[in-house]
Structure 1
Amino acid sequence: MTVLEQAAEARVAAIDLATATRADKDAALLLMADRLVERAGDIVTANAVDVENARAGGLSEAMIDRLTLTTERVAAMAEGLRQLAALPDPVGDVVRGSTLANGLELRQVRVPFGVVGIIYEGRPNVTADAAGICLKSGNAVLLRGSGSAFSSNAAIVSVLRKAVADSNLPANAIQLLDATTRDSVKELMRARGLVDVLIPRGGASLIKAVVEESTVPVIETGVGNCHVYVDEGADLEKALGVVLNSKTQRLSTCNTAESLLVHATLASSFLPLVVEELIAAGVTVHGDPRVAGLDGVVPATDEDWGTEYLSADISVAVVDSLDDALDHIRRYGTGHTEAIVTENLAAARRFSARVDAAAVMINASTRFTDGGEFGFGAEIGISTQKLHARGPMGLPELTSTKYIVTGNGHTR
């Protein structure tokens, strides 16, 4: 079956799904969660094939970590679906309403997009997250994962489709596209009129290609060259904890810190300590000339400052002021998450007001930029653009709106 044929089937499914009740959608989500747990062994077995092939193909350990599923990770996927079921349904919410001077009743209400296409790399947990959040928000979804995760994704989608069908909702609301060739990506990007919006999740090259080549509207997500700036007014114990958590809690995510900026007044006190702790945690420190003199530091190149490593690497620079830190972030940041550690309220306010990012952390780890951590449930991605959504994209961000105007024989 071609992508256009699958998209046409998704369009039919989206019509029924758009009018499904919250009770019906929640029941389907709960059954999807239960079935994932029941079939976890089959999913992990399928995933082992992908992991073995990835290792044989020389995929990096960071990427293999993103790819790997365990029984615990499958259970976490299921829990994400259960959390979605507990969240309010955005479909039908009245965004605003009024009675016009002529007596017409005007309401702007949330409605599903219709058909959402997701192009993503490596992480098979995205399959369940995307399917669940699209179903809850009333959207059919076309999933185009990477070839490296095809066996895993196929096993997950098989389980989810059967659960949806058993819940008397259209199974074609969740479909997996062929990932053995790039043709399916090209077809999906050109399915304008059948697919309403396309969301790429992955590295910079994938997102750039989709944004530049797609005729379907795109919501840009994900690339995260995130910085932690340790201000001269920082509590150094807090700063150390925030830096280490931001960098080492999980290396392969877009909200992991890739750069550390330290105020010059802390160069002799905090900098040696944090560098030592990062190296002890297995992180390679790429430092500017004022950092490179410390033991174990690798001199940074110009390329390092703009790199999203997704690995045990971090670039570290000393800056002479908060404004210098902002200038550095403005030049190299990707608009994802930026953090400041400081006890100076004025510095925190200036940083948060002037930094251009979807999320700003004050005395907190960059790793909190996440739909689940924000209380949104499973997210579809983290938007780094300014239209139509910005930051973690929960259920409301997977909807558009329509105006419903009620009259009593009104004519203009």
Structure 2
Amino acid sequence: MSGYVRHLAEQARAASLVLAGLDGEARRALIEAMAAQLDAQRDAILTANAEDLQRGQAAGLSAAMQDRLKLDPVRLAAIAAALREVAAQDDPLGTVTRRDTRPNGLVIERQRVPLGLIAMIYEARPNVTADAAALCLKAGNAVLLRGGSEARASNAAIAACLHAALRERGLPIAAVSLIEDTAREHVLELLQLSDLIDLAIPRGGESLIRFVAEHARVPVIKHYKGVCHLYVDRAADAELALNLLVDGKASRPGVCNALETLLVHRDIAADFVPRALAALTARGVQVRGCERTRALASAASVDIGEADEADYAAEYLDLIIAARVVDDLDQALAHIERFGSDHTEVIATADAATAEAFVRRTRSSAVMVNASSRFNDGGQLGLGAEIGISTTRLHAYGPMGVESLTIERFVVRGEGQVRHAESLSP
């Protein structure tokens, strides 16, 4: 190992102790200053992003990756707005989540404290550079960022803004450390630093996340992929279900909360499936269906492909969707259990009992009742931004905001109590 990443991590670890000592107002002002820097340096960031996009197109970067990589004035303004929303949130540090008094008079508190140093490993998403920094700093953590080579110019431009805000306040820029050399061996070095890094969060394609999980000697929060389902129940409002389908699949297909599979109750399939196929094909979506779906498509003079098990397990990240007609709720849930990824499941139904049964019997990190899968996002769920979506059942599950970047510890307050009452006299 070169020691390059260890040196960065040692500096970031030292910076985390400085951050933990700041009060909530100081951290709020710091993140607001970072948002102001992003606004002030908009042109420089967009120029850097254009360089990344040009290089990515020449290298044959997929449409989904290019969409994740792309910044424009609207997206950049949204990043700055997300930072301000994070800044405005209540300070989580020092929050007492529980207080009990024991029979011996000890006061037992559970108190939120920072994790310490967080390593963020991500691909093609320059917004993560700013989002991760803001969330980690708000929770009193330092962050070590390793972005993908496809976004290196964008990440460097955004990191320069974050460093400028840290310098303005006399704080160590190592609190937000960017690994600018994106060589794979540096990721391996990073993942071995169990004495310095408290948590690693990979964010990107399944291959990246599996690589991190397989090589890490530090704790890892992960989700491998987003195979998200919409189940249209027999009691569904058809127009509502169509809107959920179109928004979930076609609004931005290259993201992890996009729909990948449509399940339709057999009692309404004859009416709903042709309408769904028409809405999808009008938006350029390819459909791959089961035998019953294909029969309904043929009757409606729509040509669709045949779906197999690989299609139902796929995260397409593209204008492609798998479809299946199911006999009932039980069969829909069995399908989700087999092919789902614990990310997001959606039910369209007007039957409250069916909706509650669906909620109880799905394991996913987010369950939507008559609402689009696209709402499984930290900003949309009131977190300001997210550092990632966890489908790992550890201390965080679902979109991870500021609170998910803290842990609870015990603080015990006493008046001289001892566990064993021994006499100190001779």
Common fold by TM > 0.5? yes
- C-alpha separation between the residues in 2 aligned to 1:298 and 1:179? 44
- C-alpha separation between the residues in 1 aligned to 2:394 and 2:239? 38
Match of 1:158 in 2: 160
- C-alpha separation between the residues in 1 aligned to 2:38 and 2:303? 45
Question: Which of 125, 128, 141 is the equivalent residue of 1:126?
Answer: 128
Q: Deviation at 1:325? A: 0.4
Amino acid at match of 1:369: N
- C-alpha separation between the residues in 2 aligned to 1:387 and 1:380? 15
Note if contact 1:24-1:167 (Cα within 8 Å) is conserved in structure 2.
no
Match of 2:364 in 1: 357
- C-alpha separation between the residues in 2 aligned to 1:351 and 1:105? 41
- C-alpha separation between the residues in 1 aligned to 2:107 and 2:270? 66
Match of 1:208 in 2: 210
Match of 1:318 in 2: 325
Structure 1 spans left out of the alignment, 5+ residues:
none
Amino acid at match of 2:4: T
Q: What does residue range 266-345 of structure 1 map to in structure 2 within 5 Å?
A: 266-293=268-295, 294=297, 295-345=302-352
Match of 1:54 in 2: 56
Does structure 1 residue 8 correspond to structure 2 residue 10?
A: yes
- C-alpha separation between the residues in 1 aligned to 2:182 and 2:216? 20
Instruction: Provide, for residues 40-73 of structure 1, a one-character-per-residue CA deviation record: whole Å limited to 9, x for no partner.
Output: 1101111111111111111111210110111221
Instruction: Provide, for residues 344-380 of structure 1, a one-character-per-residue CA deviation record: whole Å limited to 9, x for no partner.
Output: 1121111111111111111110011111111111111
Instruction: Provide, for residues 184-207 of structure 1, a one-character-per-residue CA deviation record: whole Å limited to 9, x for no partner.
Output: 110111110100000111111211
Q: Deviation at 1:341? A: 0.3
Q: What does residue range 221-236 of structure 1 map to in structure 2 within 5 Å?
A: 221=223, 223-236=225-238
Match of 1:178 in 2: 180
Question: Which of 67, 72, 83 is the equivalent residue of 2:85?
Answer: 83
Q: Deviation at 1:290? A: 1.7
Instruction: Provide, for residues 281-305 of structure 1, a one-character-per-residue CA deviation record: whole Å limited to 9, x for no partner.
Output: 1111111122234213122232111
Q: Deviation at 1:308? A: 0.7
Does structure 1 residue 103 correspond to structure 2 residue 110?
A: no
Q: What does residue range 12-91 of structure 1 map to in structure 2 within 5 Å?
A: 12-91=14-93
Instruction: Provide, for residues 87-130 of structure 1, a one-character-per-residue CA deviation record: whole Å limited to 9, x for no partner.
Output: 11111100211222222222111000000001111111111100
Note if contact 2:210-2:224 (Cα within 8 Å) is conserved in structure 1.
no
Note if contact 1:17-1:170 (Cα within 8 Å) is conserved in structure 2.
no
SS at match of 1:378: coil
Note if contact 2:147-2:182 (Cα within 8 Å) is conserved in structure 1.
no
Question: Which of 186, 189, 198 is the equivalent residue of 1:187?
Answer: 189
- C-alpha separation between the residues in 1 aligned to 2:277 and 2:155? 39
- C-alpha separation between the residues in 1 aligned to 2:253 and 2:128? 17
- C-alpha separation between the residues in 2 aligned to 1:171 and 1:347? 52
- C-alpha separation between the residues in 2 aligned to 1:267 and 1:411? 70
State the identity as a percent. 47
User: Structure 1 length normalisation: TM-score?
Assistant: 0.98
SS at match of 2:145: strand
4+ runs of 1 displaced by more than 4 Å? none
- C-alpha separation between the residues in 1 aligned to 2:328 and 2:237? 17
Note if contact 1:97-1:107 (Cα within 8 Å) is conserved in structure 2.
yes
- C-alpha separation between the residues in 1 aligned to 2:173 and 2:124? 24
Note if contact 2:289-2:304 (Cα within 8 Å) is conserved in structure 1.
yes
Instruction: Provide, for residues 247-294 of structure 1, a one-character-per-residue CA deviation record: whole Å limited to 9, x for no partner.
Output: 112111111111100111122101001111101111111111222342
SS at match of 1:165: helix
Note if contact 2:117-2:199 (Cα within 8 Å) is conserved in structure 1.
yes
Q: Deviation at 1:222? A: 5.9
Note if contact 1:288-1:318 (Cα within 8 Å) is conserved in structure 2.
yes
Q: Deviation at 1:407? A: 2.3
User: Structure 2 length normalisation: TM-score?
Assistant: 0.95
- C-alpha separation between the residues in 2 aligned to 1:114 and 1:353? 35
Q: Deviation at 1:411? A: 2.6
Amino acid at match of 2:26: D
Which segment is superposed worse, 102-111 or 113-122? 102-111
Note if contact 1:383-1:392 (Cα within 8 Å) is conserved in structure 2.
yes
Amino acid at match of 1:246: G
The CA RMSD over aligned residues, in Å, is 1.2
SS at match of 1:292: helix
Q: Deviation at 1:225? A: 0.3
Which segment is superposed worse, 294-303 or 362-371? 294-303
SS at match of 2:244: helix
Note if contact 1:222-1:381 (Cα within 8 Å) is conserved in structure 2.
no
- C-alpha separation between the residues in 1 aligned to 2:416 and 2:371? 57
SS at match of 2:291: coil
- C-alpha separation between the residues in 2 aligned to 1:224 and 1:180? 26
Q: Deviation at 1:179? A: 4.3
- C-alpha separation between the residues in 1 aligned to 2:305 and 2:321? 10
SS at match of 1:290: helix
Q: Deviation at 1:219? A: 1.0
Match of 1:377 in 2: 384
Instruction: Provide, for residues 23-50 of structure 1, a one-character-per-residue CA deviation record: whole Å limited to 9, x for no partner.
Output: 1111111110011011011011111111
1:376–1:222: structure 2 CA closer, same or farther, 3 Å change rule?
Answer: farther
Note if contact 1:338-1:361 (Cα within 8 Å) is conserved in structure 2.
yes
Question: Which of 220, 240, 243 is the equivalent residue of 2:242?
Answer: 240
Which segment is superposed worse, 290-299 or 257-266? 290-299
Note if contact 2:288-2:307 (Cα within 8 Å) is conserved in structure 1.
yes
- C-alpha separation between the residues in 1 aligned to 2:401 and 2:224? 14
